[in-house]
Amino acid sequence: MKKKIILSFLMLLTGIVAFSQATLLKFEPVSFSKVNITDNFWKPKMTLVATKTLNACIYQTETATPRIKNFINVAKNDGQKHQGIFFDDSDVYKALEAMAYSLKNNPSPELEKKADEWIDIIASAQQPDGYLNTYFTLEKTQKRWSDMDKHEDYCAGHMIEAAIAYYNTTGKRKLLDVAIRFANHIDSTFRLQNRHWISGHEEIEVALVKLYKNTGNKKYLDLADWYLQQRGHGYYSRNPATQDYYQDRLPVVEQTRITGHAVRAMYLYTGAADVGATNNDTAYMNAMKLVWEDVVHRNMYITGGIGSSGKNEGFTIDYDLPNEHAYCETCASVGMIFWNQRMNTLTGDAKYIDVLERSLYNGALSGLSLSGDRFFYGNPLASTGNHGRSEWFGCACCPSNISRLISSLGDYIFAKNESGIWVNLFVGSDTKILLGKNEVALKMETNYPLDGNVKIQVSPAKTISFKLHIRKPGWSSGTAVPGGLYRFDTANSSPSEIKISLNGKNIAATEENNYYIIDRAWKKGDVIAYSMTMEAKRVVSRDEVLTNKGRIALQRGPLVYCIEGADNEGKAWNFIFPGNVAVAEKAYSVVDEKVIALSAKVPVFTIGTDGLSAGTIIKEITAIPYYSWCNRGNNQMQVWLPTKIIDIKANY
């Protein structure tokens, strides 16, 4: 036992030493494992995931579907056939990763026992050479590694991430050893033989960098870089359309446009940012900046969702952003959060956190029901009532993905380097951060996003000078989205005001990279009060977004709003929203969720008793946060509201 503990410690220490050699990063995130979340908004959602969502994932994985059964059948080796989709293994791994994060936030002997049971089953299915994939082992043993689009390395990547998360939470390394053997198998099969190969569904690049950071073994970083360098040479296809779909037309360092499948793209660019940062490779960083601008400036929804087309589950042409037929896969929004965090640490600019926050509170959170056990795969911005939440999906990537995101929320709140601490998200929490040899305790209290008041208590073990950076949100400064794809209608929206005080006295702070910076000698018990006025603002699109011409959207703080039929006599398409209409706030509930709703008195269309003639009456309509829609059954919904008669549905 003592030998095992020493080995684990040396492994972790080696990883930390290796990671410290990176020089491109402006700072590094504080791990979720060091952050205790007490937030009024997020803590209940994390508890919901730990109880309801993960229970749904477990039931679907081992009882309602044959996902776990496939691993059992591999170990039995009695001729059973694979059941389900060829990449179903990945859902098991993502659920395990979410379970690992949840165990840190909500310790549960029962959940840990279930995870250990799954890990034993997975380990029993590993082949002698390290290979592990139930589809090919049960169905096509002789054809493994013969089809780049069969997700073998995608599944491997999710297994590696689950293994690292579970090891870091519990100290148990059985799954980590399985993951290492599989990674070694992949390395010897491809990189060491220089056998050309691209991953049809990116993910392993991110996982391999994590494996390098946690083991200190540079071959995993080299393998991640090798995967990236395989792209853009025609190894998968010579067809330009196919190359675009797989982000394979150009080498990664030469890419400037977002193309193809949205989730695959997000994982690719997250991996490229990780490799670029760790290898001090500015070529990756420069490419990522250009691709990011293409996404955010021309191809992102106001919710932070991406992917306008269900046909390719991704991107089409610039400014093609339909609302009712928006795809906006939940997993793509999760990927946006991963990628934007990396861009923030690479550049030190809070504009990336603005986008991360937009995706987190809107595009991603919409994917999880308020009950925790129903889900959206796609997240449209308008509906005539034909969209509904599901208990599960045949392709079930989204439930476990949103679970692992929410359970690891602590990863995105704070960051640090040797000279400072960054506050990126306003989430009630506490942590202890080591600056040199001095431990600095931080405690953040807030009711965000219901209001914009934040209190941060700074308590170093002994007086220490450092810079505290507090994000200045784009929504407070008049910038709806970097690049101007969406902007606030300043004629009808007041600018937000931010006040900062230290120990009860107002102070001025310098600004840099969209952060306020307070540089001083901090002592135990110092308190920063950070106050942001938060009110409803109208948002308009660039004219190139044709579906939004003549329309406005409502946003309050980080939250995008929608009109849903459940709050408006079953209708959400029967009104216009003139630009000069006053918008009021009111305390409201959607099911059991306490929200700030918005209301306005607007012209509402009615049908005469003859069924033909139409008229208007002034009625109050209610808007709710977009993430909370469709929790009271299927019904009409709109995010972008017409300011004149341009698109009033015939069935209003």
Which residues are tagged catalytic? 313, 397
Q: What is the CA radius of gyration of the chain?
A: 25
The Cα-based distances of 427 to 242, 314, 335, 430, 455 in angstroms read: 42, 31, 20, 9, 10
Rounded CA-CA distance 434/421 in Å is 10
Q: Is 77 helix (H, G, I), strand (E, B) or coil?
A: coil
HSE-CB at 372 with a 13 A cutoff on CA atoms is 20
Sorted by sequence, the CB contacts under 8 Å of residue 521 that are 6+ apart come out as 463, 464, 465
Query: Which DSSP string do the residues of 479-503 spell out, in sequence order?
Result: -SSTTSSEEE-TTSSPPP-EEEEET
Looking at residue 308, what DSSP letter applies?
A: -
CB 539 within 8 A of CB 548: no
Residues 6+ apart with CB under 8 A from 352: 292, 340, 341, 343, 344
Pair of tokens at residue 604? 């509402």
Distances (CA, A) of 500 to 63, 232, 470, 529, 614: 53, 49, 10, 6, 53
* Per-residue tokens: 415: 């960051």
Phi/psi for 617 (5° steps) reads -135, 155
Q: Letter for the amino acid at 170?
A: T
Judge whether 518 and 467 are in contact, CB under 8 Å.
Answer: yes
The tokens describing 22, both together, are 């990176």
CA-CA distance, 380 to 389, in Å (whole number)? Answer: 12
Identity (one letter) of the amino acid at 454? V
Parallel/antiparallel/unpaired status of strands 429-435 and 498-502: unpaired
